[in-house]
């Protein structure tokens, strides 16, 4: 027997945990579809030249090789995708003539990264992305739209801790820096350094801005002052203006960000909040306007679990440019730590609402008929695997969290008598397989938020 052990970075879930993940994905996709997003899947692999277009991610790619390749083990030239944006951009170009623009799609798939595994970082994980892509142009209101759709989707995950969506705008930052008189190179370097504020203290970043980016002390101070601005309404606009910088691009960015925050604030709740956070820049260089990050309350150490933004050139074939705006939720990144800590679990490990008990093996055909009648009305059920003592059959149900056990008693010369027992309360009542209905809350497993975070259920990772 070969080695049986978890593979580090490749988390797997037990059935009651997987049910939680299925629920999350079902609720997300339901919201996406209500907003007209079509589901798309792309193949798991891309040509390496596609994957390596951004040099800094190259070390994360898993390359594929056919084990018994005729040419002696040469790489196939294909690798596993490390996100859903690169394959989606390729899909848009490949199918541009057969898609309708603006094209709105959601995509929930696994991605792979060959990096060293650590808390909240996996080698295989599931992402849920939404994007809207235009041909040549894509109005700004779509930036608002993807933010609102994702907020609504996150609000639907009501068994998770709260979320804080942080938004900023690259035009605002670049316009501000331009208004300070920084050169194009200094703007890029300043953005890169200010982005380090979550790891370095302000004094250190200030020193780097002066020493590395060549800013004056006053320019550095104003850049840092900009990055401290936060507000959950559009009051950030006045705070930025108070810094005394003017630039057309800054005005455009302020206007866009204020519109976004105002439009999203109507969706904000106690558990899903929106704020302008002018320190957010996103490291990747292709964002050109709106940028998003998201923190999970109580799990801030996970970093941003839902990120994205506007890219004026998501894809281009040289003749046509496809601008896009999107946001990507790290489903595994949010869920696996919560499942591992036992903070979330389903209240049963099987979909079954009812276990149909068996008095004798010879009753199996009748028990199957009872089960069929229940299923015809959408009630998931299973028939006991053996005609063991009823106590054992009830424990069989209990161990799986199945709430009801169905008993059928036969007396010669009389129709069979059906009873159903709620094994949580012990209540047992007469029931008809063709009409009995459990409370709707019992029809599917429920996601339970644990009050303690210790549990024997744990995924391997």
Please report the DSSP string for 370-395 in residue order.
HHHHHHHTT--EEE-SS---HHHHHH
Closest CA to 401 of 419, 428, 380, 418: 380
Residues 6+ apart with CB under 8 A from 63: 48, 75, 76, 78, 79
- Residue whose CB is less far from its own copies, 213 or 447: 447
Out of 76, 269, 320, 453, point to the residue binding its own copies (CB under 8 A): 76
Dihedral class, residue 74 (left if φ above 0, else alpha if ψ from -120 to 50, else beta): beta
Name the token pair of 327: 């946001």
Among 81, 105, 222, 273, contact with its own copies (rule: CB under 8 A): 105
- If the CB atoms of residues 141 and 410 are measured against its own copies, the closer one turns out to be 141
Smallest separation (angstroms) from its own copies to the CB of 51: 8
| The binder of its own copies chosen from 84, 88, 90, 167 (CB under 8 A) | 90
Residue 54 binds its own copies (CB under 8 A): no
> Does 184 participate in binding its own copies (rule CB under 8 A)?
no
By C-beta, is 19 or 176 nearer to its own copies? 19
Q: Which segment (199-207, 378-386, 426-434, 447-455) binds its own copies by CB under 8 A?
A: 378-386
Beta bridge partner(s), residue 405: 355, 421
Q: C-beta of 366: minimal distance to its own copies in Å?
A: 13
**What is the smallest separation between the CB atom of 443 and its own copies, expressed in angstroms?**
11
How many degrees, rounded to 5, is the angle at CA 4 between CA 69 and CA 10? 70
In the complex with its own copies, the residue whose CB is nearer, 362 or 439, is: 362
The nearer residue to its own copies, 76 or 269, going by C-beta atoms, is 76
Does residue 316 touch its own copies according to CB under 8 A?
yes
Residue 95 within binding range of its own copies, rule CB under 8 A? yes
Is 455 a binder of its own copies (CB under 8 A)?
no
From the list 369, 327, 342, 379, the residue with the least C-alpha distance to 165 is: 327
Tell me whether residue 97 or residue 244 sits nearer to its own copies (CB atom): 97
CB of 356 to its own copies, least distance (A): 10
434 touches its own copies by CB under 8 A: no
Instruction: Please count the residues of this chain forming the interface with its own copies, following the rule CB under 8 A.
Output: 92
Residue 141 or 241: the one with the smaller Cβ distance to its own copies is: 141
Q: Which of residues 400-419 bind its own copies (CB under 8 A)?
A: 400
Other C-beta atoms lying within 10 Å of the C-beta of residue 33:
12
Range in contact with its own copies (rule: CB under 8 A) among 29-37, 189-197, 200-208, 283-291 = 29-37
Which residues in 109-148 contact its own copies (CB under 8 A)? Answer: 110, 112, 114, 124, 134, 139, 141-142
Task: Determine if 78 is a binding residue for its own copies (CB under 8 A).
Answer: yes
Angle between helices 141-155 and 15-34 (to 10 degrees): 150
Is the CB of 59 or the CB of 199 nearer to its own copies?
59
Q: Given the complex with its own copies, which of 375 and 410 has the nearer CB atom?
A: 375
4 binds its own copies (CB under 8 A): yes
Tell me the β-bridge partners of 324.
133, 311
For residue 55, the minimal CB distance to its own copies (Å) is 11
Burial class from Cβ neighbours inside 10 Å (0-12, 13-18, 19+) for residue 73 reads: exposed
As to burial, measured by CB atoms within 10 angstroms (0-12 exposed, 13-18 middle, 19+ buried), residue 108 is: buried
Per-residue H/E/C for 134-198: CCCCCCCHHHHHHHHHHHHHHHCCCCCCCEEEEEEEHHHHHHHHHHCCCCHHHHHHHHHHHHHHH
Rule CB under 8 A: say whether 378 interacts with its own copies.
Answer: yes
Rule CB under 8 A: is residue 313 a binding residue for its own copies?
Answer: no
Antiparallel, parallel or unpaired: β 428-430 and 417-422: antiparallel
Token reading at 401: 């969290």
**Residue closer to its own copies, measured from CB, 44 or 243:** 44
Q: Which of 54, 74, 241, 375 binds its own copies (CB under 8 A)?
A: 375
List Cβ neighbours of 44 (8 Å cut-off, separation of 6 or more).
80, 81, 109, 110, 112
Q: Is 27 in the site for its own copies (CB under 8 A)?
A: no
Q: Does 48 bind its own copies (CB under 8 A)?
A: yes
Alpha carbon distance 340, 350 (integer Å): 19
Helix ranges (DSSP H) in 217-363: 217-227, 236-241, 248-265, 331-340
Region near its own copies per CB under 8 A, out of 39-47, 158-166, 284-292, 403-411: 39-47
3-state secondary structure of 68: coil
Smallest gap, in angstroms, from Cβ of residue 317 to its own copies?
Answer: 6
Q: Which is nearer to its own copies, 62 or 390 (CB)?
A: 62
Q: Tokens 């601008």 map to which residue?
A: 323
């Amino acid at each position: 027997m070969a080695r049986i052990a978890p593979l580090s970075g490749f988390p797997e879930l037990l059935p009651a945990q997987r049910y939680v993940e299925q629920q999350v994905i079902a609720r997300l996709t339901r919201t996406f579809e209500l907003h007209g997003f079509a589901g798309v899947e792309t193949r798991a692999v891309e040509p390496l030249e596609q994957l390596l277009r951004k040099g800094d991610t190259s070390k994360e790619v898993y390359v594929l090789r056919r084990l018994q390749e005729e040419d002696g083990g040469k790489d196939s030239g294909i690798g596993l995708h490390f996100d859903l944006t690169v394959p989606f951009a390729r899909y848009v170009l490949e199918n541009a003539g057969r898609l309708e623009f603006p094209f709105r799609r959601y995509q929930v798939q696994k991605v792979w990264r060959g990096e060293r595994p650590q808390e909240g970082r996996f080698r295989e994980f599931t992402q849920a992305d939404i994007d809207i892509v235009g041909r040549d142009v894509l109005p700004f209101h779509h930036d608002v739209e993807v933010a609102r759709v994702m907020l609504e989707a996150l609000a639907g995950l009501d068994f998770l801790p709260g979320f804080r969506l942080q938004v900023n705008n690259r035009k605002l930052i670049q316009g501000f820096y331009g208004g300070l008189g920084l050169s194009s190179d200094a703007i890029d370097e300043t953005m890169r350094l200010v982005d380090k504020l979550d790891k370095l203290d302000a004094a250190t970043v200030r020193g780097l801005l002066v020493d590395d980016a060549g800013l004056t002390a006053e320019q550095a101070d104003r850049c840092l002052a900009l990055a401290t601005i936060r507000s959950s309404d559009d009051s950030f606009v006045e705070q930025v203006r108070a810094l005394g910088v003017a630039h057309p691009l800054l005005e455009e960015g302020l206007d866009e960000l204020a519109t976004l925050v105002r439009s999203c604030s109507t969706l904000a709740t106690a558990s899903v909040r929106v704020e302008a956070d002018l320190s957010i820049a996103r490291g990747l260089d292709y964002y050109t306007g709106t940028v998003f990050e998201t923190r999970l309350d109580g799990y801030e150490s996970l970093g941003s679990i839902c990120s994205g933004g506007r890219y004026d050139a998501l894809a281009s074939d040289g003749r046509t440019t496809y601008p896009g705006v999107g946001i990507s939720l790290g489903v595994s990144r949010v869920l696996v730590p919560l499942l591992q800590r036992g903070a979330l679990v389903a209240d049963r490990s099987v979909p079954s609402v009812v276990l149909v008990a068996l008095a004798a093996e010879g009753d199996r055909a009748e028990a199957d008929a009872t089960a069929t009648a229940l299923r015809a009305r959408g009630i998931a059920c299973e028939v006991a695997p053996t005609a063991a003592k009823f106590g054992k059959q009830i424990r069989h149900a209990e161990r799986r969290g199945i709430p009801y056990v169905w008993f059928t008693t036969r007396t010669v010369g009389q129709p069979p008598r059906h009873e159903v027992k709620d094994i949580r309360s012990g209540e047992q009542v007469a029931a008809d397989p063709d009409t009995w209905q459990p409370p709707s809350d019992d029809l599917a497993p429920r996601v339970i938020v644990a009050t303690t975070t210790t549990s024997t259920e744990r995924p391997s990772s």
